[in-house]
Chains A and B, each alone.
Chain A
Amino acid sequence: MGSKPKHKPVAKPVSEQILRRAKEYGFSDRQLAHLWRSTESTVRQLRLNLGVVPVFKTVDTCAAEFEAFTPYHYSTYERENESHVSSRKKVMILGGGPNRIGQGIEFDYCCVHGVMALKEEGVEALMVNCNPETVSTDYDVVDKLYFEPLTLEDVLNICDHEQPYGVIISFGGQTPLKLAKPLEKHGVRILGTSPEGIDLAEDRERFGSLLQQLGIPHPEFGTAYSVDDAVRAAESIGFPVLVRPSYVLGGRAMEICYNREAVQTYMKKAVDVSPEHPVLIDRFLEDAFEFDVDAVCDGKDVLIGGVMEHIEEAGIHSGDSSCVIPPYMISAANIEIIKRHAVKLAHALNVIGLINIQFAMKDDVVYVLEVNPRASRTVPFVSKATGIPLAKIAAKVMIGRTLEDLGVKDFDFRTVKHISVKESVFPFSKFPKAPIFLGPEMRSTGEVMGISPEFGGAVAKAQISAGNALPVEGRLFISVNNSDKNDITLKIVRDYVRLGFSIVATEGTARFLRENGIESDRVFKVNEGRPNVVDLVKNGEIQVVINTPLGEESRYDEYAIGWAAIQHKIPFMTTLSASAAAVRAIEAQRSESLQVRSLQEYQKEPL
């Protein structure tokens, strides 16, 4: 600051008055702890001792001129408290906070279902959230709404005031999850799976030995505290490996490395590794199929809501890949194995409520990749696909109901016959210059669902809803990397030819196709001359693009093609499995059989 005192004056002791003023200025306990070189809990204790506690005001539309009946509150530091505490049994649900990539509306859906379930059970549902866009912050939906930050300080203040029977932290995604342990430490009862169980699932070493104990296969993994460590671990696991920092979730800064140089580069540039923040290294199951399961456990029985199959192969974040219910490329025996593993895991982690498990299948072996004993992003999709409201059931289980008395114990997801496809929606059109290839880091903002009696129809509808409607005729541009110059590609291209598409390809791909008896027009890559593929896209001479990523050297080319496709709203596929699914969709669109049917009809008259 401008005029610094020459010598430090003696610090004054904190008084009730100064603390109160700090609070009126909005300072948090955490800031005060920082300013006074103390801890948040010390500040909190002092605040309680001095009686500096918030009051809760009512949002009343009329500046207190008329009596307000709506239980919609916010905290402030004044004298009169307007939030009257009832004598009913109360359960508090912590919401998801601001939407961001990786944590969106799905968690709001789960929270609202939690509220509905509590109300149905005659329990007063208290909601805490700070996101104004949501349904969970509609005071009409909840019994009582606290529009407050989801920090330990603010949530504890509400707990002090309301004294709820318990708090549900497993519906709002990462935000409330982080509060589980600190809240428990302050004597707040956490409903559902214990924070200990949630922790166990996230602690690699302990979880790894649990899987071993249960006899469930998982990809080999290691933990590294230095660059050398990482290389050693990767080499003993075997390439390719998936590397990521341990302290962030949602796939941030994850990478797939095919050799030791890549691991070294990643370790040097991507993370600052330390004993508190090691780097996790997993064997990456290349070309594996991935599956997601959402289930509810009441401590005794397990309700499997459904098994979803990812359409893209392993390596793409589960929040970004498209998926289908019921799974379409797995044997009944492997579905049984998935089911058995899910039940075992739910019991081993003492799950009460929701659990999400990610599986991978490679060479007919089912591996467990990850377990999260909490609401997942896919809960609403599974619930809409099957008609079983998982989040609602989970909330009821958390307050003591059983799957048996809720009448859902024997639900068999295999009885659902219609096909539901979920497709992700990306913001690339808003971000020129962003890399557009999918990977282990999630970047989609939202999702759509297509429902149809047939797989192709469901994919077609999902693509239309996502704004990538597939063409029924025209010209396919294809450029695949060397490992994709295989029978699968040939089959896909033959299918497009059969459907009447003409084919344009880059030199290498064209040669590969020619060697296998498929004619195509060769087109220049961007740096080979003109007219090149981007010119064709811009001139509307290409209707669909298949471009599997080739690696660093041709990134510029791929980016140019992808960006041109996005700007001209041309379907752009970067994996063979998505390209194959698109063939089925185009077939469905050509047969003009895409009918509309309501969820109520699907439930009343199953196919």
Chain B
Amino acid sequence: MPKRTDITSILIIGSGPIVIGQACEFDYSGTQACRVLREEGYRIILVNSNPATIMTDPDLADATYVEPITPHFVEKIIEKERPDVILPTMGGQTALNTAVALAESGVLEKYGVELIGAKLEAIKKAEDRELFQRAMDRIGLATARGGFVRSRDEAVKIAAAIGFPIIIRPSFTLGGTGGGIAYNFEEFEEKVEHGLSSSPIHEVLIEESVIGWKEYELEVMRDLKDNVVIICSIENFDPMGVHTGDSITVAPAQTLSDKEYQHMRDAARKVIREIGVETGGSNIQFAVNPDNGRMIVIEMNPRVSRSSALASKATGFPIAKMAAKLAVGYTLDEIPNDITKQTPASFEPTIDYCVVKIPRWDFEKFKGVDDTLGVQMKSVGEVMAIGRTFKESLQKALRSLEQGYGGLGADGKDLVDVRSLSADQLPEWKKRVVDRLRMPKPLNVLYLRYALQLGLTIEDLFEITKVDRWFLHNLKQIVDFEEELRTYSLS
């Protein structure tokens, strides 16, 4: 299908200020969308309150509004500019929430503005966890057990049925704000109250814990001809229980068998079709039980996300740019791949290298704050590294962090030189390292190295952390090789 000629102007909504959970990845996606749609000849109207973005450069749109991204102000812009359509999938949760509000209050209908990229129904199906669960039931995919509540009493009832630990997720918040894990009743009550007040609709999801399961994300695109392509698979090094934004992640997925991967791929295609995202990119998260392989769907974002920025950089496939083209009617087979020029965008990317992303935290600025990682994102940035193997990429990523690390330790910044410990110091250090690894904390990967140096086995560490054995084996190889390197000398 060629591009739409029935529309001439497009309103793109940005994501506003940089906050934890919504950072400059949406400047990246929004900038791509502005550029590509302008090249297609459309008049671009943009709203974003963040002056530090490239997308708000006056050269990138025909009319750039540095104004509040609220239904009230966006309505004023619509009234003044009369765009034909709104593209709300480039500006994170902020843009999506604003578009939903405008649709539901009748503003879009009043001015005859259409939503492109994702329709209201699809957004709601993906974002409203109750509708999402029902949709997953319909296509026979499992989700975590639990339910939605709007009061403490309802929450307690569900909690009694599923047992601790329990995940608390407020509806319609970004980066998991206000969410948490409760291990006992007291924590549960506190977190439900906080969750209810964080949710704009005062609703939280009380859910069975799948902590310790393996976590995956697939970046999926679909067009109007119902072509579906999987752009990238991403595996979390840290198991379920740590927000993806706070996890070390690896692309492509490393520890799935081909059969498991195909199963997940099929599920992703079913999900995007059932939710009904017709044109654009979505991010679908899965959890896999390491003991029996049971797979459940965690959630879906019907828009470009932090992970799609990562997937774009990891594969070279510009998801936001393609999503913008699909939104105006092109199909995947009509768009040439940027990189090869001769293959179409419907070819799924294949990568012959390994990408590692590591988050960057800034806890030293917030004294007294708990640095345990959980379902609410706490990192403020991230780095990515590309290498031929996981080992190479991991070490490159660690030295990219600019926190003084030269790689996986052995850089003069080690907390302890395990080789110099005396026999009676070893048990104390073992205990210290194991205690640390029991809770997910920033850069626990460095402690995994100490643990291996202290003689803990891969099985021990798997039991403590649930980090997949494959990753632990790789760490062990680095540790062993470090030992070998020590037997050499420069002179």
Contact = CB atoms under 8 A, between A and B. Distances in A.
Given A26-B394, A434-B369, A600-B62, A384 B56 contact: yes
Interface string B77-98: 1001000000000000000000
Nearest to B70: A464
A147 B53 contact: no
A76 B175 CA distance: 34
A36 B392 contact: no
Nearest to A110: B52
Given A62-B349, A63-B350, A98-B381, A28 B401 contact: no
B63 A104 contact: no
Contact of A28 (B23, B306, B402, B407): B407
B19 A427 contact: yes
B377 to A, nearest CB: 8
Contacts of A377: 52
Nearest to B173: A429
A36 B51 contact: no
A112 B488 contact: no
Given A465-B17, A567-B197, A105 B23 contact: yes
B70 to A, nearest CB: 6
Interface in B342-399: 342-343, 347, 349-353, 357, 360, 362, 364-370, 376-378, 380-389, 391-397, 399
B485 A32 contact: yes
Contacts of A36: 485, 488-490
A325 B80 CA distance: 26
B369 A27 contact: no
Nearest to B406: A30
Interface string A491-522: 00000000000000000000000000000000
Interface in B13-72: 16-21, 23-25, 27-28, 31-32, 35, 49-54, 56-58, 62-70
B381 to A, nearest CB: 3
Most chain A CB within a 10 A radius of its CB, from B77, B338, B408: B338
Contacts of A247: none
Given A60-B340, A384-B56, A1 B418 contact: yes
A310 to B, nearest CB: 16
A529 B470 CA distance: 58
A9 B488 CA distance: 10
A433 B63 contact: no
B400 A130 contact: yes
Interface stretch (B105-113, B286-294, B474-482): B474-482
B410 interface: yes
A174 B408 CA distance: 23
A451 B385 contact: no
A105 B350 contact: no
B281 to A, nearest CB: 15
A18 B484 CA distance: 9
A265 interface: no
Nearest to A99: B381
A20 interface: no
Contacts of A135: 24, 27-28, 31, 54
A450 B17 CA distance: 12
Interface in A418-434: 422, 425, 427, 429-434
B481 A21 contact: yes
A446 B411 CA distance: 33
A67 interface: yes
B364 A62 contact: no
B259 interface: no
A45 B350 CA distance: 36
B485 A27 contact: yes
A74 B32 contact: no
A529 B269 CA distance: 59
A446 B477 contact: no
A104 B77 CA distance: 28
A344 B370 CA distance: 47
A132 B64 contact: no
A99 B360 contact: yes
Nearest to A428: B366
A26 B453 contact: no
Given A105-B27, A449-B50, A9 B382 contact: no
Interface in A75-128: 76-78, 97-101, 104-106, 108-109, 112
Nearest to B356: A26
B177 interface: yes
A450 B73 CA distance: 12
Contacts of B155: none
B411 A97 contact: no
Nearest to A19: B488
Contacts of B146: none
A441 B365 CA distance: 8
Contacts of B310: 132-133
A257 interface: no
A603 interface: yes
Contact of B315 (A4, A30, A59, A134): A59
A228 interface: no
A147 B27 contact: no
B225 interface: no
A431 B180 CA distance: 12
B318 interface: yes
A112 B52 CA distance: 11
Nearest to A65: B350
Contacts of A445: 17-20, 380
A144 interface: no
A209 interface: no
A568 interface: yes
A14 B409 CA distance: 20
B20 A430 contact: yes
B4 interface: no
A366 interface: no
B487 interface: yes
Contact of A140 (B315, B318, B381, B396): B318
Interface string A445-484: 1111111000000000100111001000000000000000
Contacts of B367: 434-435
A598 interface: yes
B483 to A, nearest CB: 7
Contacts of B349: 61-62
Nearest to B338: A70
A449 B309 contact: no
A431 B369 contact: yes
Interface string A348-384: 0000000000000000000000000000010011001
Contacts of B157: none
B308 to A, nearest CB: 10
Contact of B368 (A76, A252, A433, A451): A433
Contacts of A432: 194, 369
A370 B373 CA distance: 37
Given A12-B489, A101-B365, A443-B365, 9 more contacts: A24-B392, A25-B389, A30-B411, A63-B351, A133-B310, A141-B31, A430-B177, A446-B50, A448-B49
16 contacts: A11-B489, A30-B411, A34-B411, A60-B340, A62-B349, A65-B350, A68-B339, A68-B340, A132-B25, A132-B310, A132-B314, A138-B31, A445-B380, A448-B17, A451-B67, A567-B197
**Top 5 closest A-B pairs, CB basis?**
A26-B395, A446-B18, A99-B381, A11-B489, A465-B49
Interface of B: 16-21, 23-25, 27-28, 31-32, 35, 49-54, 56-58, 62-70, 73, 76-77, 80, 175, 177-178, 194, 197-198, 306, 309-310, 313-318, 321, 337-343, 347, 349-353, 357, 360, 362, 364-370, 376-378, 380-389, 391-397, 399-402, 406-412, 418-419, 453, 455, 477-478, 481-483, 485-491
Interface of A: 1-2, 4, 9, 11-14, 18, 21-22, 24-28, 30-32, 34-36, 38, 42-43, 46, 57, 59-70, 72, 74, 76-78, 97-101, 104-106, 108-109, 112, 130-135, 137-141, 147-151, 154, 175, 252, 377, 380-381, 384-385, 387, 389, 422, 425, 427, 429-435, 441-443, 445-451, 461, 464-466, 469, 567-568, 594-601, 603
